[in-house]
Amino acid sequence: MKVEEYRTILAKGMSEDSFQDEVIRLAKIHGWKYYHTHDSRRSVAGFPDLVLVHPSRGVLWRELKKWNGRVSKEQQEWLDRLADAGEDAGVWRPMDWLDGTIEKELRGWPRERCPCRRE
């Protein structure tokens, strides 16, 4: 089995909750503070899952999705509005965790320059 095939199997099996727990754990290691709305039923629809703040690296707004999870219209509107305002807003999926993208972004690689980004 090739590495990419193995990563795909792992990514498909990762729940959004366990994925989020791993992202938060890694963010804390790298000095980020985070905010996550635990019960979004009474919040504005589409607000990103995580707001990560670092004193020297700025703010990351991230929607977390399972392997095949879809970004809702409201979520995309939030991400687009944040990006239009100059914020670093995007979606992370388990494959981004497994291929090192998330760690590189948390270490300070801008999304557009991160050598691990898949387009």
pTM beyond 0.85: the answer is no
Cα distance between residue 86 and residue 88, in whole Å: 7
Please give the average per-residue pLDDT across 96-119, as a whole number: 70
pLDDT digits (tens, 9 = 90+) for 70-92: 999 999 999 999 999 999 999 99
Does the domain formed by 3-107 have CATH 3.40.1350.10? yes
Q: What is the predicted pLDDT for the residue at 113?
A: 46
Q: Where are the alpha helices (DSSP H) in 15-100?
A: 16-29, 73-84, 94-98
d(CA 109, CA 98): 17
Which whole number is the average pLDDT over 27-48?
A: 90
Mean pLDDT within 6-34: 88
Asked if 91 contacts 97 with a C-beta cutoff of 8 angstroms, the reply is no
Token representation of residue 13: 């099996």
What distance in Å separates the CA atoms of residue 61 and residue 48, rounded to the nearest whole number?
A: 6
